[in-house]
Amino acid sequence: MGASPEDSTARWQYLDHIRKTKGPFNPPSDEDEDTPEMLDTLGKSTILVIGAGGLGCEILKNLALSGFKNIHVIDMDTIDISNLNRQFLFRKADVGKSKAEVAAAFVERRVQGVEITPHNNKIQDFDEDFYMQFQMVVCGLDSIEARRWMNATLVNMVDDDNPDSLKPMIDGGTEGFKGQTRVVFPTMTPCIECQLDLYAPRAAVPLCTLATIPRQPEHCIEWAHIIAWDQEKPFPSLDKDDPEHITWLYQTALSRAQEFNIAGVTYSLTQGVVKNIIPAIASTNAIIAASCCNEALKIATTAAPALGFEDNYMSYHGDEAIYTNTFKYEKKEDCAVCGSLSKPLEVDPRWTLQELIDSLATNASAQLKKPSIRTESKTLYMRFPQSLEEKTRPNLDKTLREGLGLEEKQEIAVTDPAFPALSFKFFLRFT
Amino acid sequence: MLKIWSMKKEQQKKDNDEAAAGGKKKKVTAAQLRVQKDLNELSLGSTMTTEFPDPDNILEFILTITPDEGQYTGGKFTFSFNMSASYPHEPPKVRCQQKIYHPNIDLEGKVCLNILREDWKPVLNLNAVIVGLQFLFLEPNASDPLNKEAADDLRQSRDNFRRNVKNSMAGGSIRGVQYDRVLLK
Contact between A409 and B25 using a beta-carbon 8 Å cutoff: yes
Contact between B26 and A411 using a beta-carbon 8 Å cutoff: yes
A166 lies within 8 A of chain B by CB:
yes
Closest CA to A391 of A410, A376, A405, A372: A372
Closest approach of B148 to chain A, Cα-based (Å): 7
Q: How far apart are the first and last CA of chain B?
A: 70
CA-to-CA dists, residue A30 to A36, A130, A303, A428, B46, angstroms: 16, 32, 15, 38, 70
Q: Which sign, positive or negative, has the C-alpha torsion A263, A267, A273, A279?
A: negative
- Residues of chain A with Cβ-Cβ distance to B34 below 8 Å are 336
Whether B17 has a pLDDT exceeding 90, the answer reads no
- Average pLDDT value over all residues in chain A: 88
Residues 6+ apart with CB under 8 A from B153: B160, B161, B164
A384 lies within 8 A of chain B by CB:
yes
Whether A36 has a pLDDT exceeding 90, the answer reads no
- Report the relative pairing of strands B60-65 and A343-347 from DSSP bridges: unpaired
Q: For residues A193 and A338, what is the distance between their CA atoms, to the nearest angstrom?
A: 8
User: Which regions of A261-405 does DSSP assign to beta strands (E)?
Assistant: 313-317, 323-327, 343-347, 372-374, 379-381
- pLDDT of the residue at A148: 87
Q: For residues B25 and B119, what is the distance between their CA atoms, to the nearest angstrom?
A: 37
- Residues of chain A with Cβ-Cβ distance to B87 below 8 Å are none
pTM of the model: 0.71
Whether B21 has a pLDDT exceeding 60, the answer reads no
Contact between A336 and B33 using a beta-carbon 8 Å cutoff: yes
- pLDDT of the residue at B165: 96
Q: For residues A7 and A401, what is the distance between their CA atoms, to the nearest angstrom?
A: 61
Question: With pLDDT > 90 as the criterion, what percentage of chain A qualifies?
Answer: 58
Q: For residues A250 and B162, what is the distance between their CA atoms, to the nearest angstrom?
A: 39
- pLDDT of the residue at A425: 85
- Average pLDDT value over all residues in chain B: 88
Q: Which carries the bigger pLDDT value, residue A195 or residue A59?
A: A59
Tell me the residue type at A164.
D
- pLDDT of the residue at A162: 85
8 A C-beta contact, residue B107 and residue B99: yes
Contact between A382 and B28 using a beta-carbon 8 Å cutoff: no
CA nearest A424 in B: which residue? B33
- Residues of chain A with Cβ-Cβ distance to B32 below 8 Å are 374, 376, 413
Q: For residues A1 and A317, what is the distance between their CA atoms, to the nearest angstrom?
A: 38
Whether A224 has a pLDDT exceeding 90, the answer reads yes
- pLDDT of the residue at A5: 52
Q: Count CB neighbours of A426 within 10 A.
A: 23
Closest CA to A171 of A163, A162, A180: A180
Reduced to 3 states (helix: H, G, I; strand: E, B; else coil), residue B155 is helix
Q: Which helix (H) or strand (E) holds B78?
A: strand B77-82
B50 lies within 8 A of chain A by CB:
yes
Band of the pLDDT at A66, cuts 50, 70, 90? Answer: very high
CA-to-CA dists, residue A200 to A38, A197, A241, A318, A342, angstroms: 44, 7, 25, 18, 30
Contact between A388 and B33 using a beta-carbon 8 Å cutoff: no
Band of the pLDDT at A3, cuts 50, 70, 90? Answer: very low
Residue count of chain B: 185
- Residues of chain B with Cβ-Cβ distance to A386 below 8 Å are 44, 49-50
Q: For residues B29 and A52, what is the distance between their CA atoms, to the nearest angstrom?
A: 28
Nearest CB neighbour to B20, from listed A128, A212, A341: A341
Closest CA to A27 of B5, B1, B41, B137: B1
Give the distance, in angstroms, between the CA of residue B48 and the centroid of all CA atoms in the same chain.
Answer: 12
Contact between B30 and A383 using a beta-carbon 8 Å cutoff: no
List, as ranges, residues 121-140 from B with C-beta within 8 Å of A.
Answer: 121
**Interaxial angle between packed helices B148-156 and B158-169, expressed in degrees from 0 to 180 and rounded to the nearest 10:** 140
- pLDDT of the residue at A332: 86
Band of the pLDDT at B26, cuts 50, 70, 90? Answer: confident
The whole-number average pLDDT for the span A203-222 is: 88
Question: At CB < 8 A and 24+ separation, what contacts does A402-408 make?
Answer: A402/A349, A402/A350, A403/A352, A403/A353, A404/A353, A404/A378, A404/A380, A405/A378, A406/A349, A406/A375, A407/B25, A408/B23
Q: Residue A427 pairs with which residues in a beta bridge?
A: A344, A411
Whether B15 has a pLDDT exceeding 60, the answer reads no
Whether B148 has a pLDDT exceeding 60, the answer reads yes
CA nearest B118 in A: which residue? A204
The whole-number average pLDDT for the span A104-124 is: 95
- pLDDT of the residue at A335: 81
Whether B152 has a pLDDT exceeding 50, the answer reads yes
Q: For residues A193 and A156, what is the distance between their CA atoms, to the nearest angstrom?
A: 13
Residue count of chain A: 431
CA nearest A308 in B: which residue? B4
- pLDDT of the residue at A262: 94
Closest approach of B166 to chain A, Cα-based (Å): 24
- pLDDT of the residue at B20: 42
Band of the pLDDT at B13, cuts 50, 70, 90? Answer: low
B10 lies within 8 A of chain A by CB:
no
Whether A202 has a pLDDT exceeding 80, the answer reads no
- Residues of chain A with Cβ-Cβ distance to B5 below 8 Å are 163, 166
- pLDDT of the residue at B3: 66
The whole-number average pLDDT for the span A340-363 is: 88
- Report the relative pairing of strands A70-74 and A115-119 from DSSP bridges: parallel
- CA–CA–CA angle B69, B72, B75 (5° rounding): 105
- pLDDT of the residue at A27: 60
Q: Residue B93 pairs with which residues in a beta bridge?
A: B82
Question: Order of strands across the sheet with B93-96?
Answer: B48-51, B60-65, B77-82, B93-96
Over residues B45-64, the pLDDT tens digits come to 899 999 999 999 999 999 99
Mutation for A interface: B3, B4, B48, B154, most A CBs within 10 A = B4
Tell me the residue type at A93.
A
Mutation for B interface: A379, A381, A410, A425, most B CBs within 10 A = A379
Band of the pLDDT at B12, cuts 50, 70, 90? Answer: low
Q: How many CA atoms lie within 13 A of A374 on its CB side?
A: 31
- Residues of chain A with Cβ-Cβ distance to B50 below 8 Å are 385-388
B160 lies within 8 A of chain A by CB:
no
- pLDDT of the residue at B19: 42
- Report the relative pairing of strands A136-140 and A46-50 from DSSP bridges: parallel
Q: Count CB neighbours of A247 within 10 A.
A: 13
Closest approach of A172 to chain B, Cα-based (Å): 20
Band of the pLDDT at A142, cuts 50, 70, 90? Answer: confident
Q: Count CB neighbours of B180 within 10 A.
A: 15
Question: With pLDDT > 70 as the criterion, what percentage of chain A qualifies?
Answer: 93
Q: What is the DSSP string of B88-138?
A: TTSPPEEEESS---BTTB-TT-BB--GGGTTT--TT--HHHHHHHHHHHHH
The whole-number average pLDDT for the span A143-147 is: 85
Contact between B32 and A374 using a beta-carbon 8 Å cutoff: yes
8 A C-beta contact, residue B1 and residue A346: no
- pLDDT of the residue at A230: 87
Nearest CB neighbour to B22, from listed A301, A337, A411: A411
Is A208 designated active site? yes
- pLDDT of the residue at A33: 55
Over residues A241-281, the pLDDT tens digits come to 788 999 999 999 999 999 999 999 999 899 888 887 777 89
